[in-house]
Chains A and B, each alone.
Chain A
Amino acid sequence: MRFFGSAFISLLAFAGLSSAKSSSGDSVLVLLDPSLDKENFSLFFSGLEKRGYDLTFRAPKDVAPAISEYDVPSFAHVILFTPETKSYAKDITPQSLVGLLSEKTNLLIALSPKQTPLTSLASEFSLILPPPGTPLVSHHPARDGPPTVIPVPVSSSPIVTPGTPPVWFSGAPHALGNNPYLVPILRAPAESFAADSTDDSGADAIVDAAEKGGEGLWAGSQMGVVTGFQTAENSRVVFAGGVELFSDEYARKELSPGKPSGNAALARDIAGWVFQESRVLRIDSVTHHRVNETVAPEMYTTNDEIVYTAQISTYNSRTSSWQPYSGIDDLQLEFTMLDPHVRTALPPVPGSPGTYQVQFRAPDRHGVFKFVVAWRRQGQSYLLSSTTVPVVPPRHDGYPRFLSAAWPYYAGAVSTSAGFFLFAALWLAGDVKGEKKKGAKAE
């Protein structure tokens, strides 16, 4: 009995570990090129299914299942392993894919040295692709195998677990524009470059291409091989230069006898980031009130002391739940009317997980202000919260009273009151003397 109990508990724990679920949905549409063999990606797809995703497979030219019905996306995530497809069904166009991103659907896109509609989509995301037909080539390190299959060392990136071994890659590189929304995941090795030549006589062509001007030569570690982009709606898209990165063949290929490649681990990290499992934050609630009060007033007065509190949590994919998160140390609050009038740090409250609080004084300008928290960091979800609140000038009796400069006026007014009361009392109480003379005269 005890044995079964402990086995059951350990099974539950194991199941919890293996189901790392996404925070934004489990349905995944996989568009697979007919020329690609689904069995060659079995490790990647079965890994996704084990983590709780529902995979639906479809060829690019199939009409059903459509990616969106009447502008509502049908799936939470879409994988496009279609590096060589030049024509798709009617529902998949670069515009419809961008529309999916606006509706918070995440995309994982595999490119290739061939020119496809996805190439023009990638350039919309500030990725500069080399001319068609120029795959990434590297003669370093010396190895058996063609120069287009390259072991790429995994550089530090906010998304990849440190210590991942080098990964095998073949495909096209891309240069990164200076767009801060890009999240570089894997960079090309320093000795690699994009070229279409197959023997040493192509050397002159390379020098000519570089001297011709324009973007010059795609070479070096400034190029990316797998790059992510996080949109303003917090949907994520990853462009991978080649689809073989995710294949079983490369996952099983060894770097040197006894050292496995890092392809499986990198594919898991990429999927974890793109499908909103890791590095997902959100603002749960936002409250504001005056000091010594608890309820938000309808409007604030200028020069009020205001306390602003935000609750932030992060998604834990292991437990599929949102947990309070106090790890942001550079959160800022802006009190804005057209321009920020006040910008202060919003520090976490020690002892209260997930709570960030600050107290500040409302400016002495009246108007309609906003509490704005806009936090963006590479690789993390963007936090954006905006609460509108009126700030009015003091009411007629909200100004300082009983000023020392008014003492003469207080004295005067009180004197008038006292004088009137005294006169009335004395007149009513007084003696009547002056009538005697008159009465005597009448007599």
Chain B
Amino acid sequence: MIFLLSWLLLAASAHAATLSVQSPRFTISAADAKQLRSDTLSLTKKPEPLTLSPTDTLKLTFQITTDGEDGKGVQPHQTFLRFYDAVSGEEGIQPVRVTPGGKAKFELNMARPPASIPPTSSAPLEVSLILGSFVHDPAKYDLFDLYIPASQPAPTHADAAMFSPRPAIQHTFRPAQSLPPKAVSALFAGAVLAPWAVLLGLWGKVGISVPHLFAPSIVPFTALLGAFEALLFWYWVDLKLGQVLLYGAVLALPTVFAGKHALSTTGKWRAGRK
């Protein structure tokens, strides 16, 4: 007796009845209730992907029973449709209302979609049915792939841009200043120097008499004056103001004495001539 009972117990636990789905059907109808596509679903093979336009409605009906076709209709604890986007990883779960007799009906109206539909990407939504119950074994079925109209992109947080590389920014510099052509500059430099040519030419004709050019009284002053000009040129090329003032002060001292000597010599010459 006990042996028989234990066998019964074993049989009962082995067949904690599994939930199964009977006569699943889907219908896609347009806004004017015209049927666009209608078919039964095979639970082992997915049909061609379903496509919905913004005004279509998808209706899904099925019945949940225990243990195959002649089982009782039941209302399980969990009857969920799962919309999964394999590319973006987004998922939406939509519970389906089931009558106590096990009949289930789900309607998806694209004009007013439920909030559980995830935002779309390029891949279709994989729709599957998840059944769960406290007393029966659970079941999961892949139903079909669904293409729905594109949604707005999911809202992003203000700081989300900082978490990926941001676009590079290159500064546009002001273009370098443009200069006139060098030939023009050379021409006008030549125009500036032209009077020298005239002067030297006329001097050549007239002739300068400079008998005292290398006289030892005035050569020091002339040389120091030349040094001053060289200092000025050096200041233009390289020196700073402090340096040129220092060197100029150093040069100025002998120049004063040399100049006085030169002028007095010239004066003597003029007086002597007289």
Partner of A435, one of B131, B165, B274: B274
Tell whether, in the assembled complex, residue B274 and residue A439 are in contact, meaning their CB atoms are under 8 Å apart.
yes
Q: How far is the CA of A245 from the CA of B173 in the complex (A)?
A: 59
Tell whether, in the assembled complex, residue B173 and residue A374 are in contact, meaning their CB atoms are under 8 Å apart.
no
- If A190-B84, A206-B95 touch, whether A138 touches B192 (CB-CB below 8 Å) is no
Is B69 an interface residue, CB under 8 A from the partner?
Answer: no
Partner of B189, one of A199, A363, A410, A430: A410
Among A195, A374, A425, max chain B CB count under 10 A is at A425
Tell whether, in the assembled complex, residue A374 and residue B95 are in contact, meaning their CB atoms are under 8 Å apart.
no
Q: Which residues of A contact B131 (CB under 8 A)?
A: 139
Tell whether, in the assembled complex, residue A343 and residue B169 are in contact, meaning their CB atoms are under 8 Å apart.
yes
Q: Which residues of B contact A334 (CB under 8 A)?
A: 169
Stretch binding the partner chain, chosen from B23-31, B142-150, B178-186: B178-186
- If A200-B77, A407-B189, A408-B192 touch, whether A303 touches B134 (CB-CB below 8 Å) is no
Tell whether, in the assembled complex, residue B166 and residue A180 are in contact, meaning their CB atoms are under 8 Å apart.
no
- If A191-B140, A342-B171, A408-B192 touch, whether A217 touches B208 (CB-CB below 8 Å) is no
Is A193 an interface residue, CB under 8 A from the partner?
Answer: yes
Q: How far is the CA of A428 from the CA of B140 in the complex (A)?
A: 119
Tell whether, in the assembled complex, residue A203 and residue B77 are in contact, meaning their CB atoms are under 8 Å apart.
yes
Tell whether, in the assembled complex, residue B91 and residue A138 are in contact, meaning their CB atoms are under 8 Å apart.
no
Q: How far is the CA of A179 from the CA of B220 in the complex (A)?
A: 87
Chain B residue nearest to A406 in the complex (CB):
B185
Q: How far is the CA of A436 from the CA of B272 in the complex (A)?
A: 11
User: What is the CB-to-nearest-CB distance from A401 to chain B, in angstroms, rounded to a whole number?
Assistant: 9
Tell whether, in the assembled complex, residue B138 and residue A139 are in contact, meaning their CB atoms are under 8 Å apart.
yes
Tell whether, in the assembled complex, residue A363 and residue B168 are in contact, meaning their CB atoms are under 8 Å apart.
no
User: What is the CB-to-nearest-CB distance from A159 to chain B, in angstroms, rounded to a whole number?
Assistant: 16
Is A35 an interface residue, CB under 8 A from the partner?
Answer: no
Is A256 an interface residue, CB under 8 A from the partner?
Answer: no
User: What is the CB-to-nearest-CB distance from A163 to chain B, in angstroms, rounded to a whole number?
Assistant: 20
- Count residues of B near A (Cβ-Cβ below 8 Å): 80
Q: Which residues of B contact A142 (CB under 8 A)?
A: 137-138
Q: How far is the CA of A142 from the CA of B130 in the complex (A)?
A: 13
Partner of B196, one of A345, A378, A415: A415
Is B86 an interface residue, CB under 8 A from the partner?
Answer: no
A332-354 vs B, CB cutoff 8 Å, 1 = contact: the mask equals: 10100000111111000000000
Is A412 an interface residue, CB under 8 A from the partner?
Answer: yes
Is A432 an interface residue, CB under 8 A from the partner?
Answer: yes
Tell whether, in the assembled complex, residue A405 and residue B179 are in contact, meaning their CB atoms are under 8 Å apart.
yes
Q: Which residues of A383-418 have CB atoms within 8 Å of chain B's CB atoms?
A: 403-408, 410-412, 414-415, 417-418
Interface of A is mostly: mixed
Partner of B90, one of A222, A344, A406, A436: A222
Is A140 an interface residue, CB under 8 A from the partner?
Answer: yes
Q: Which residues of A contact B233 (CB under 8 A)?
A: 414, 417
Is A204 an interface residue, CB under 8 A from the partner?
Answer: yes
Q: Which residues of A contact B186 (CB under 8 A)?
A: 407
Q: Which residues of A contact B214 (CB under 8 A)?
A: 429
Is A147 an interface residue, CB under 8 A from the partner?
Answer: yes
Among A334, A343, A410, max chain B CB count under 10 A is at A343
Q: Which residues of A contact B188 (CB under 8 A)?
A: 407-408
Q: Which residues of B153-184 have CB atoms within 8 Å of chain A's CB atoms?
A: 154-157, 159-160, 162-163, 165-171, 173-174, 179-180, 182
- If A374-B162, A404-B179 touch, whether A341 touches B78 (CB-CB below 8 Å) is no
User: What is the CB-to-nearest-CB distance from A423 to chain B, in angstroms, rounded to a whole number?
Assistant: 10
Q: How far is the CA of A6 from the CA of B165 in the complex (A)?
A: 50
User: What is the CB-to-nearest-CB distance from B4 to chain A, in angstroms, rounded to a whole number?
Assistant: 24
Q: How far is the CA of A181 from the CA of B80 in the complex (A)?
A: 31
Tell whether, in the assembled complex, residue A421 and residue B229 are in contact, meaning their CB atoms are under 8 Å apart.
yes
Is B52 an interface residue, CB under 8 A from the partner?
Answer: no
Tell whether, in the assembled complex, residue A412 and residue B192 are in contact, meaning their CB atoms are under 8 Å apart.
yes
Is A131 an interface residue, CB under 8 A from the partner?
Answer: no
Tell whether, in the assembled complex, residue A435 and residue B168 are in contact, meaning their CB atoms are under 8 Å apart.
no
Q: How far is the CA of A138 from the CA of B78 in the complex (A)?
A: 9
B250-274 vs A, CB cutoff 8 Å, 1 = contact: the mask equals: 0000000000001000100110011
Is B122 an interface residue, CB under 8 A from the partner?
Answer: no
Q: For the complex of A and B, list the 5 residue pairs with the smallest distance between their C-beta atoms, beginning with the closest.
A: A139-B132, A219-B93, A429-B213, A343-B169, A220-B93
> What would 20 more interface pairs be, CB under 8 Å, given A341-B171, A343-B167?
A139-B134, A140-B140, A141-B138, A180-B162, A191-B132, A191-B138, A195-B77, A199-B134, A199-B135, A201-B75, A204-B97, A207-B96, A210-B95, A210-B116, A219-B93, A220-B82, A342-B169, A364-B174, A411-B192, A424-B225
